[in-house]
Amino acid sequence: MKRYDFVYLFDVKDANPNGDPDAGNLPRVDPETGEGLVTDVCLKRKIRNFAAMKGQRIYFSEGAVLNELHAEAYEAHDLKPESKKLPKDAAKAKELTDYMCKTFFDIRTFGAVMATEVNCGQVRGPVQMSFARSIDPVIASEHSITRSSVTKVADKEKERTMGRKFTIPYGLYRAHGFVNPFLADKTGFGKDDLDLLWEALKNAFQFDQSAARPAGSMAARKLVVFKHQESLGNAPSHMLLEAVHVHLKDDSKPPRSFTDYEVKVEGSLPDGVELIEML
């Protein structure tokens, strides 16, 4: 496994990319700059969902009971769990953690804290991503909607129920990511997993449609990957990431499509770094 740094660009049009449940599901926005935000957790969820469709087992999946998943590791090694404790034998404890990494794609990719009642240790994942931030400030549009049905018989004669829906007219978002080869060796994250990660990023929004994100409203636009020859890296991450410039072609009007932007990798690459444009 080599070290990788990458820049990921995706956009949203007339949809809500990542609602904030503490703010009535409003799109997340930096209050100081007005730039839109999408959390790293949101992006990882889309990768998990895609990996699950490709047949991978996912640890953090809907309806999962984590202690039951941990118990699988103990049963596979003929061990009995002790409340909140790992086996005293370090080799046996490692076998449990290794089992979880081997079994679940998202554990060997993103890591997990599994120190629950049935303890399987904790894993630091080799793949990490930043929050995504919009290139320019975004504005959340509020739309009033109505519901013609009522919940209770007693409300049958009442007028229609009013509700709200929030969308962003347009926003181009940028996130950064990193693949740590040393942690990949520890979790067993291999070439097939890396290929699946790239595939998931390119197709993250193809199977994520909902009322808040209808078909075609979100799309992956650019995936610029920097591959290092050396495991320790041939250049600092920030130097490579900052080489990817995204410019609004005409700042006299608000952007409404990806074609309103220009994306360039400027400057020469350091020795030992390969540029791979996957999108």
- Looking at residue 159, its pLDDT comes to 66
- Looking at residue 197, its pLDDT comes to 98
Mean pLDDT of the chain: 93
- pLDDT mean over 107-125: 96
CA-angle at 15, arms to 252 and 18, nearest 5°: 105
Asked whether the whole model's pTM tops 0.85, one would answer yes
- Looking at residue 59, its pLDDT comes to 97
- Looking at residue 211, its pLDDT comes to 79
What distance in Å separates the CA atoms of residue 104 and residue 107, rounded to the nearest whole number? 6
Confidence of residue 142 (pLDDT cuts 50, 70, 90): confident
* Statement: residue 169 has pLDDT above 90: yes
Confidence of residue 144 (pLDDT cuts 50, 70, 90): confident
Locate all alpha helices (DSSP H) within 77-123, ordered by sequence.
90-103, 105-110
Q: What is the longest distance spanned by two Cα atoms in the chain?
A: 74
- Say which DSSP state 76 is in: H
Beta pairing, strands 161-167 & 171-179: unpaired
Residue 264 burial class via C-beta count within 10 angstroms: exposed 0-12, middle 13-18, buried 19 and up:
exposed
- Looking at residue 23, its pLDDT comes to 87
Q: What is the pLDDT of residues 145-168, one digit of tens each?
A: 777 777 777 777 776 677 778 999
Lowest mean pLDDT among 18-27, 34-43, 94-103, 176-185: 18-27
Q: Which of 144, 99, 138, 137 is nearest to 118 (CA)?
A: 99
R_g of the chain, CA atoms, integer Å: 22
What distance in Å separates the CA atoms of residue 45 and residue 147, rounded to the nearest whole number? 30
Two structure tokens written together for 211: 């009322």
- Say which DSSP state 131 is in: P
